[in-house]
Structure 1
Amino acid sequence: MLSERSSVDIHALKRQGMTISEIARRTNHDRKTIRSYLNGDRAPGVRQRAAPDEFDGFVDYVTARLTEDPHLWAATLLDELRPLGFEGSYPTLTRQIRARGLRPACTACAHVTKRPNAVIEHPPGEETQFDWLELPDPPAHWGFPTKRAYLLVGSLAHSGVWRGVISPSMDIPHLLAAMTTLLALLGGLTRVWRFDRMATVLHPVTGDLTPMFAGFAKHHGVQPVVCRPRSGNRKGVVEKNNHTAAQRWWRNLPDELTLEQAQASVETFAAGQDARKREGEHGTTTAAAMFADERLRPLPPVVFPVIVTEERTATRQALIDWRGNRYSVPPELAAAKVVVQQRLGAATIDIATVSGTVVARHAVAQPGLGVTIRDGGHVTALEAIALASAPPGRPHRRKERIPPGAAALRAAQVLTGTAAPTTTVISLAAYEQAAKNRNTLR
């Protein structure tokens, strides 16, 4: 095989009047090779196969199948080719498809991913974009019910300033609770909230807003906007911030952090991103400088009434964890599952059984303090149950010396045959008493 440079050289030598033999001697190639390249029978950079390609007979079938279905898996195509006599391997098939360019581009998909995108203007104070970011494998001591945590990210579309709130679930109460915290972190309200087509915002059957979310939007006086199907790029600001949070914050978050410390960490990280450069109307600026132009409306004085419910398992000391603090439950529920309920903005939490019976109510401490709040009645009842269930006497120590007792020694003497002979003593007092009674009766 000749390279492009060698091909240019032999054509130049031929134009200078040299014969094929002279060119072969000068370039140290075979005369038949030189003649093939000069006549155009072979192309530079393309190696000529010594044997015919066995895949040539399957080209028509593969071309037809990939034209019918451009997304057909190569493994599925290999299953179809086996009965037709194809003996090559899976890598051979994929290499042939790639080298021959047999898989056509799907025009329908190219319309979605490679279509022209219009530039969307975001005036100050116009739009806030919200989206969930899934966080796999959170630390086990966070106590989440699944092996996933979720970060609700809210981004101001004009400045790009964003904040995030960690949540154990994406259901509607946790969404509204996280949004309430997010709006406070962002500092106010825009005119529009933009979401993708999440079921907690948009009913999947009717296509209308869900009743609870509609009430939440009315409470804040904001217009919710849901992206059209397959048009998620309209909220690209929040999606880019999601990518940043996943790769630069969550990826190296230490395992030993508590949930409250992790929440403070993401808030600090997001605030640090305010200094990143942005292109504004008057040249390069920063997100923090553009945030100064945001015209945010104040939040309502009263939070929206929504009840957040989460399941917990009480410890053997009849305590449950809630927002970085511990609260007591009746001792009968030690090591049992309970349900914790808190209304947004309320200063108390209710602890109920799985069936829904409220068994305790506590004043809420500031999250993350690590304090333990016990009810006096719970403490008294727990001590009574603990004392009643304690075994008599003191428990044995691990290394306590307890030699064989008298009963064990007697049993050992019987086994070894060294036991002293036992004598039977018969008392005649009973017979004497019986004789006296008989004489008295006569």
Structure 2
Amino acid sequence: MKGVDTVARIRREFFIRKRPIKEIVRELHVSRNTVRKVIRSGATALSYEREVQPLPKLGQWRADLDRLLLINADKPSRERLTLMRIFEALRGLGYEGGYDAVRRYARSWQRERSAVTADAFVPLSFAPGEAYQFDWSHEVVLIGGVTNKIKVAHVRLCHSRMMFVRAYPRESQEMVFDAHDRAFAFFKGSCQRGIYDNMKTAVETIFVGRERAYNRRFLQMCSHHLVDPVACTPASGWEKGQVENQVGLVRERFFTPRLRVKSFEELNAILLDHCIAYAKAHPHPELRDQTVWQVFEAERLSLVPHAGRFDGFHAVPASVSKTCLVRFDNNKYSVAASAIGRPVEVRAYADRIEIRQDGRVVGDHPRAFGREQTVFDPWHYVPVLARKPGALRNGAPFKNWVLPAGIDRVRRKLAGVDDGDRQMVAILTAVLSDGLPAVEAACQEALREGVHSADVVLNILARQREPQTVAVTVITPDALRLCHEPSADCARYDSLRRAG
């Protein structure tokens, strides 16, 4: 192959200096055919590529090499073999040729395969308030000094490219509901359409084409926010390419280097600040004279007004054990003692657990995400203490029980009394009828008087419950007043006695 400088000199010698081909060949040491090819083709550069590459030793091994290349191409990128390893595997089958023939064949095979599998895409455009995209990603952070693999919910407005990111311990349905509520509250509205992949928390069955059988609770959430859900074609991430790109951007800018936080609340506050700072600092990819935040502020006028928080819970039935505990998600939660013997409904929210029975709440706790944890509410066991006061001293629900200051002081003073547990149980039971503020005030009053027995505290509560006597003043109307006050006359009484 001749370089472009040689081709240029041939052209100048022939067309400008009018030198014959014989002299050009003798001076530049090139063949006549090369000079004729440059002059006739008018090309400024010559390249040689053999149209048919003879592979005499590789001929009978092409099928095996095709199989090895195809298997290797279908593997994940981290598990793919190098071409030298494929060559060694082919030599193991009996191939006696060289590596160069395998390399040339593999290069042509890759070009042909790329031409067949290459996809073309159409750029998408969205009107203000038309659609948003939703997706999940998995990230690694340090929470409280412990490495955790967390789930991150991504919401992106398609027109303004405004993003919302929030971290969760799980990828369950109640987390999906909470992410939508918080995103729409941040955007101050929702869009007409929501674009999703076929996640199990939203789609139950995939039919031919665009038809889907959506989860009933997911449809309720979409109906609450007036959103029309649209599911992508399976394995077609480009249909929600904006949020797919957002996942990589957030991982690079927000989670690198690895974040170190104390809690999920701190982490989510950091992520929200990053979203706002990024939107205010970066120009919109289409409207280059405006930032993402400026376009987002304009798009807010076109959003569907925020409908308020959706009651996004995941409900499952459960039974109550004899120890007033309900098991959910590998953890146990206490309920009121009156709930024993009948089934309950556990409503799991993103951050709390609510337990209901016959329409009333019998338990409400912060949600635990570990395993084999037990969450107690000591007040659930106070009615049981009325029958078993001895359990107050060693009962698991009452360990490290934080009581109001007055009640706690009375408890410490009664700890040294013989029947202190019984008296303390009587005071705690009064909370169920009189309320915690009233019992706390009664304990404070008793302590000020220098006493702390249950009888005194209960007596104070009884006096507070008794209605106060109100003095009644009777006013006699003027029409009923006596004008002449009668005088006493005992003579009539004496005459009656004599007649008797």
How far residue 245 of structure 1 moved from its aligned partner, in angstroms, is 0.9
Q: CA RMSD in A?
A: 4.7
Alignment correspondent of 2:153:
152
Alignment correspondent of 1:97:
106
Shift in CA distance, 92/211, structure 1 to aligned 2, threshold 3 Å:
farther
Residues 1:216 and 2:221 aligned together: yes
Alignment correspondent of 2:276:
271
Q: How does 1:309-328 map to 2 (within 5 A)?
A: none
SS in 1 for 2:165: strand
Q: Distance in 2 between matches of 1:140 and 1:87?
A: 57
Is the CA contact 2:190–2:306 (under 8 Å) kept in the aligned structure 1? yes
Residues 1:58 and 2:63 aligned together: no
How far residue 270 of structure 1 moved from its aligned partner, in angstroms, is 0.4
Q: Distance in 2 between matches of 1:351 and 1:265?
A: 23
Aligned residues: 322
Alignment correspondent of 1:9:
9
Alignment correspondent of 2:307:
299
Q: Deviations over 1:145-196 (max 9, x none)?
A: xx52221011122222111101122222332233333332332322222111
Shift in CA distance, 245/63, structure 1 to aligned 2, threshold 3 Å:
same
How far residue 198 of structure 1 moved from its aligned partner, in angstroms, is 1.4
AA of the residue aligned to 1:242: V
Shift in CA distance, 87/361, structure 1 to aligned 2, threshold 3 Å:
farther
Shift in CA distance, 258/142, structure 1 to aligned 2, threshold 3 Å:
farther
SS in 2 for 1:163: strand
Q: Distance in 1 between matches of 2:132 and 2:22?
A: 77
Show structure 1 runs of 5+ residues with no match. 314-339, 363-374, 382-442
AA of the residue aligned to 2:179: A
How far residue 16 of structure 1 moved from its aligned partner, in angstroms, is 1.0
Q: Distance in 2 between matches of 1:168 and 1:201?
A: 18
Instruction: Report the TM-score when normalising by structure 2.
Output: 0.52
Instruction: Report the TM-score when normalising by structure 1.
Output: 0.57
Q: Deviations over 1:1-55 (max 9, x none)?
A: 64232244357657613646x854x44x5xxx545644769x956599xxxx995
How far residue 129 of structure 1 moved from its aligned partner, in angstroms, is 1.3
Is the CA contact 1:274–1:286 (under 8 Å) kept in the aligned structure 2? yes
Q: Distance in 2 between matches of 1:352 and 1:39?
A: 80
How far residue 62 of structure 1 moved from its aligned partner, in angstroms, is 4.1
Residues 1:288 and 2:288 aligned together: no
Q: Deviations over 1:102-131 (max 9, x none)?
A: 640456632xx32x41533x2322222111
Alignment correspondent of 2:141:
138
Alignment correspondent of 1:125:
129
How far residue 256 of structure 1 moved from its aligned partner, in angstroms, is 5.4
Residue number among 218, 235, 248 corresponding to 2:240 in the alignment: 235
Q: How does 1:4-403 map to 2 (within 5 A)?
A: 4-10=4-10, 13=13, 16-17=19-20, 19=22, 23-24=25-26, 26-27=27-28, 29=29, 34=31, 37-38=34-35, 44=46, 55=55, 57-58=57-58, 62=62, 73=73, 79-80=89-90, 83=93, 85-89=95-99, 93-98=102-107, 103-106=111-114, 109-110=117-118, 113-114=119-120, 116-117=121-122, 119-120=124-125, 122-135=126-139, 137-139=140-142, 141=144, 148-204=149-205, 207-255=212-260, 258-275=263-280, 276-278=282-284, 284-291=289-296, 292-294=298-300, 295-300=303-308, 303-306=311-314, 342-343=352-353, 348-349=365-366, 359-360=376-377, 377-379=398-400
Is the CA contact 2:330–2:372 (under 8 Å) kept in the aligned structure 1? no
Shift in CA distance, 71/35, structure 1 to aligned 2, threshold 3 Å:
farther
Is the CA contact 1:131–1:196 (under 8 Å) kept in the aligned structure 2? yes
Alignment correspondent of 1:405:
none
Shift in CA distance, 141/186, structure 1 to aligned 2, threshold 3 Å:
same
Is the CA contact 2:150–2:167 (under 8 Å) kept in the aligned structure 1? yes
AA of the residue aligned to 2:244: E
Q: Deviations over 1:395-430 (max 9, x none)?
A: xxxxxxxxxxxxxxxxxxxxxxxxxxxxxxxxxxxx
- How much identity, in percent, do the aligned residues show? 16
SS in 2 for 1:278: coil
- The answer to which of 8-17 and 287-296 deviates more is 8-17
How far residue 301 of structure 1 moved from its aligned partner, in angstroms, is 5.0
Q: Deviations over 1:342-394 (max 9, x none)?
A: 138x97426699679764479xxxxxxxxxxxx9921279xxxxxxxxxxxxx
Q: Distance in 1 between matches of 2:88 and 2:113?
A: 20
